[in-house]
Amino acid sequence: MTSDAVLIESFLEMMSAERGAADNTLENYRRDLDAFREHLGRTSMLKASETDVTDHLAALTAQGFAASTQARHLSALRQFYRHLYADGLRGDDPTRTIATPKKRATLPKVLSEDEVERLLAAARDAAQAAVGDTDARAQRAARLHALLEVIYATGLRVSELVALPASAARREERLIAVTGKGGKERLVPLSEAARTAMRGYLALRQAAGRPPSRWLFPSHGASGHLTRQAFARDLKALALQVGIDPDALSPHVLRHAFASHLLANGADLRVLQQLLGHADISTTQIYTHVLDERLRALVETHHPLSRRS
């Protein structure tokens, strides 16, 4: 019977010669296949079963390896056993029906409600301190205040926020129409604070003699409106002022804060899906950790057993 070492070398030669696999890729294949060979003990790789493969993945889990590492091991085994099957060395593929281990969705970075309030308060104070001025510094302060109020009130994507039309600030309605991904339109509510900040910024631009623009946050760039990068830059500068790590803050983090704080205060996941403009509820479900915590708190507060000493 051909030894496992020879089978592995034959597979690696094929991957190099026929598929042009890089040296690093080949080394990863060798390491992962050797790990499986060690797991099998005296059982030949030619005789390995589907159960042997799933047991190996379970052993990786028990050792604390991430799902991405397990998926890499399984990918190496799939390639290996397809090679054996194609060469007629096996009549089946023991990896064929095994599902790839799924990575856990990365939880978004979230600011606390207190941290968001500190940001809003600092932006508000800077805008109010500039009242009466019409220079570029005053306009920038008013713009940042309006951007913060709107993104935290609506949870807009930063691309949707910077491209808001000027008409969004002039309407009396508490809802504004936003065109999101795929050209889909949705309605999002505006807080009174957001509407006031938007109108204050427009009024300041007019007082400074700025020409009217179709954009709420105009700029001289190619797009005609403020860029995402410019907002992110101003946001990080504000974070430094209030003692928040600027590396932990971005416009997208504020969108996450909007979503997490809504859920924590009783919002429904389906409603949040509509507000965020997610096409699929599975995208919104990255926030279920907030719901889990809320449910735990509800049980601890209201369940009769929780009041027992």
Catalytic site positions: 157, 181, 252, 255, 278, 287
- Cα(10)–Cα(49) distance, integer angstroms: 21
**b/e string for 11-43 if b means 16 or more Cβ within 10 A?**
bbebbeeeeebeeeeeebbeebbeebbebbeee
Q: What is the DSSP string of 246-294?
A: GGG--HHHHHHHHHHHHHHTT--HHHHHHHHT-SSHHHHGGGHHHHHHH
Q: Which residues contact 212 (CB under 8 A, 6 or more apart)?
A: 166
Contact 105, 286 (CB under 8 A): yes
Rg (CA), the chain: 28
